[in-house]
Copies of this chain bind each other. A is one copy, B any other.
Amino acid sequence: MDLETLLHRDIPLTRELGLTVQSWAAGRLALGLPLAPNVNHKHTLFGGSLYCGAVLAGWGWLHLALLEAGEHGGHIVIQDGHIQYPLPVRGDALAICEAPAPALWQRFLTTWRRHGRARIELATYLVEAGQSEPAVRFTGQYVLHR
């Protein structure tokens, strides 16, 4: 099952958010978050929706990277999140997660295989479509457990 179908099935609110999977390549996941269903009265993207995009980019990245590493059956839980909103978002947005440092990822996989539980910090960000400057920066602590 592809990630978009999985998200829409397992977290029904993602359908209301209009969340889509835009691309997954070279260790980089991009989710689409449209303005219309997430707009506020200032015609910008609601901060709570931006958080949902940010946290799901990290969740989705971890889900896909684990499958590529041959790991199945773990449960991913968000434990802690920190979000900053340097710029308003006045159009559709992309929520992006890029791979963490290879050494961090290897340590995470080793801990998981040895103990059945591991934690990793992932950084994600959102950009308004057509812009380059991140409008939102997020770091999340994700726990994988059996």
A residues near B, CB below 8 A?
A: 9-13, 16-17, 37-42, 46-49, 51-52, 55-56, 75, 77-85
B79 pairs with A84, CB closer than 8 A? yes
A85 pairs with B75, CB closer than 8 A? no
B42 pairs with A52, CB closer than 8 A? no
What is the predominant secondary structure among interface residues of chain A facing chain B? mixed
Q: Whole-angstrom distance between the alpha carbons of A41 and B7 in the complex? A: 10
A10 pairs with B48, CB closer than 8 A? no
B84 pairs with A51, CB closer than 8 A? no
| Chain B contacts for A40, CB-based, 8 A | 10-11
CB distance from A79 to the nearest CB of B (A): 6
Choice from B9, B16, B55, B79 contacting A51 with Cβ under 8 Å: B55
Nearest residue, chain B, Cβ from A10: B41
* Also in contact, A13 and B46, with CB within 8 A (given A51-B52, A51-B55): yes
B85 pairs with A42, CB closer than 8 A? no
Q: Whole-angstrom distance between the alpha carbons of A70 and B41 in the complex? A: 22
Which 3 residue pairs of A and B lie closest in terms of their CB atoms, listed nearest first? A48-B52, A10-B41, A16-B16
| Chain B contacts for A82, CB-based, 8 A | 80-83
Q: Whole-angstrom distance between the alpha carbons of A49 and B14 in the complex? A: 10
| Chain B contacts for A37, CB-based, 8 A | 12-13, 16
